[in-house]
Amino acid sequence: MPDAGRRAVCQAEEYIEANAQRAVTLEDLADATGVSTLTLFRSFKRYRGYSPTRFLLQIRARRG
């Protein structure tokens, strides 16, 4: 089973994909995942190699 950081990243990615059309803040993601903004940011960097904001921009670019 993945650790809490990895789960939070997956939850944040789902949240971002569902809400990419609006302004998504790190605070929104922290609320949605139940972890602190710092934990979430660090977990994204650790497990994905980029920030949550960069993931949001990638989703928006794919959708055009």
Whole-structure pTM value = 0.90
Q: Name all domains of the chain by residue range, CATH numbers in brackets.
A: 4-63 (1.10.10.60)
Q: Could you count the other beta carbons within 10 Å of the beta carbon of residue 4?
A: 12
CA dihedral 20, 22, 26, 30 (to 10 degrees): -80
Model confidence band, residue 29 (pLDDT cutoffs 50, 70, 90): very high
Check pLDDT > 60 for residue 1.
no
Q: Which of 23, 20, 25, 18 is nearest to 41 (CA)?
A: 25
